[in-house]
Amino acid sequence: MTTDLLSPFKLNDSIELQNRVLMAPLTRCMSDDNLVPTQAMVDYYARRADAGLIISEATIIRPDAQGYPNTPGLFTSEQIQGWKKVTDAVHAKGGKMFAQLWHVGRVAHPHFFGGDVLAPSAIGIEGSVPRMRELTYVTPKAATIEDIQGLITDYAKAAENAIEAGFDGVEIHGANGYLIDQFLHFAANQREDQYGQTPENMSRFALEVVDAVVAAIGANKTALRLSPGAYFNMTESDDDKAVFDYLLPALETRNLAYLHVGIFDDSMRFASLGDKSASEYMRGAYKGTLVGVGSYSFESANQAIDNNQFDLIAIGRPFIANPDYISKVKNGEALTPYSDEMLAELI
């Protein structure tokens, strides 16, 4: 039987989505200099309110979480009020929206906040901040236990702020080589304490963040994005899979709203995951609701969901190019192709 991606999907007892097509989180670097969402962002998200669920662009939980210019935050009352305008506009058009909670860890740059760059271990990355090439990355400071406790508290606080800002829930950004993902991969985590060395220890930070956010806002409103395959700001190690083999069943017991694959192209296969794609590996290791993503068209996503590869699809770049993505696919109209130049403006 063919699944109708445009019919409603019950995420859990408290959240029903109008369809199975999510807008993927997409960093746009368009907030104002206080990291407050602007009116252009209100209009941009409101135009996409017919998505099953909008996941906001990654939104930093505190100042030292920042690694890119003008990424919005959720730690000042001005930022909360700015996001409230976005969620009000999305809700007024019948949509739903989660905030993606972000800390970039070692991908942060002191230029933005003037302090230590925190990461699991003092292992830096090569390169410089996109769009600000003069800012080369620095060697991070290995977070102390006290730093780690502060980070966990701040994820939970940002989740509370998201609810105050009117979001329907949060997606914790545990993917794409950022802070949580840095704890989950051997290339970035060489700690010798209870947060390193073994799958259980390396999963500890992710699980403590999840548990703190769930305690703050409830499991029905909490989701998580993960990249078991290292592909962005990270290199793979043969032992990585053991960490995710431990983490995914542990997450299952948390009854989260969904788990989201973090990948750009889901046809990519990972030697470290037994030559599987990220979604294929996650589907095998996790029984809850899974959101697929990564270079899918509406048709190929429909096929993948029919084949039970995942339950919901997130669409990224095509949503940048087509604010009316949902109505276009509904009416069988041609989509405008995405190009990187479109990142200059919020259409």
Q: Which of residues 156-195 bind ligand 8K6 (CB under 6 A)?
A: 176
Reading the block at residue 146, the tokens are 């006290």
Burial class (CB within 10 angstroms; exposed 0-12, middle 13-18, buried 19+) of 138? middle
295 binds ligand FNR (CB under 6 A): yes
Output 317 or 328, the one with its CB closest to ligand FNR. Answer: 317
Burial class (CB within 10 angstroms; exposed 0-12, middle 13-18, buried 19+) of 116? middle
Dist CA 244 CA 47 (whole Å): 37
Output 25 or 37, the one with its CB closest to ligand FNR. Answer: 25
Active-site residue identified among 44, 45, 178, 231? 178
Among 231, 246, 258, 319, binds ligand 8K6 (CB under 6 A): 231
Dist CA 176 CA 158 (whole Å): 20
* Binding-site string for ligand FNR from residue 211 to residue 250, where x marks contact by CB under 6 A and - marks none: --------------x-------------------------
Among 22, 41, 293, 329, binds ligand FNR (CB under 6 A): 293
| Amino acid (one-letter) located at 63 | P
Across 164-189, b (16+ Cβ under 10 Å) vs e yields: ebbbbbbbbbbbbbbbbbbbbbbbbb
Reading the block at residue 84, the tokens are 């409230």
* Contact partner at residue 231 from ligand FNR, ligand 8K6, none, CB < 5 to 8 Å by partner kind: ligand 8K6
CB of 65 to ligand 8K6, least distance (A): 12
Among 27, 70, 302, 309, binds ligand 8K6 (CB under 6 A): 27
Output 69 or 199, the one with its CB closest to ligand 8K6. Answer: 69
* Binding-site string for ligand FNR from residue 24 to residue 63, where x marks contact by CB under 6 A and - marks none: xxxx-----------------------------xx-----
173 binds ligand FNR (CB under 6 A): yes
Reading the block at residue 115, the tokens are 């302090």
294 binds ligand FNR (CB under 6 A): yes
Of 296, 297, 301, which is closest to residue 334 (Cα–Cα)? 297
Cα 247–Cα 212–Cα 103 angle in degrees, nearest 5: 75
Annotation says 178 is catalytic: yes
State the number of binding residues for ligand FNR (CB under 6 A): 21
β pairing state of 97-102 and 290-292: unpaired
Query: What residues are labeled active site?
Result: 178
Could you list the residues that contact ligand 8K6 (CB under 6 A)? 27, 58, 68, 130, 176, 231-232, 264
